[in-house]
Amino acid sequence: MATPRTDGSAASGWIVFAAVLMIFGGISAILQGVAAIAKDSVFVVTNNYTFRFDLSAWGWIHLVLGVLVVLVGLLLLRGALWARMAGVALTGLAMVANFVWLPYIPFWALAMILLDAAVIWALCTAPGRRPAAV
């Protein structure tokens, strides 16, 4: 029977799960950002919403945030320990961005918020590296 690797060189299953979801969410954010930047009339804003922001500005925010989330997701697959902390922070920012995105695409934004919550949960509960024996 094979013994599991505990040297931290390979990502655990939860980290791979989080990384794949981050890459998917980041690509989705990039596409949303490009659509918002390219043509503002793609999205319809509901009236009487509590908050309203410039769609092109939020498009750029989604684009930049999506690129960062994809990069951190790829680094998570390579086993970078700092990428877990950066992943939690960036995914938290992505949750906020998707919350503000609710007036434009309500169902998709809610789905992305739930996906981001699953990523944060996976990054926070995945087993960490064990300290080296002295």
Spell out the SS3 assignment of 64-87. HHHHHHHHHHHHHHCCCCHHHHHH
pLDDT attached to residue 130: 52
Q: How far is CA 134 from the centre of its chain?
A: 37
pLDDT tens sequence across 109-120: 899 999 999 999
pLDDT tens digit string along 88-106? 999 999 999 988 888 778 8
Average pLDDT in the chain:
81
b/e sequence 86-109, b meaning 16+ C-beta within 10 Å = bbbebbeebbebbeebbbbbeeeb
Confidence at residue 63, expressed as pLDDT on a 0 to 100 scale: 94
* The two structure tokens encoding residue 31: 């596409």
Inform me whether the pLDDT recorded for 26 exceeds 90: yes
Give the pLDDT confidence of 36-54 residue by residue, as tens digits: 888 766 566 566 655 566 7
Looking at residue 21, what is its pLDDT? 93
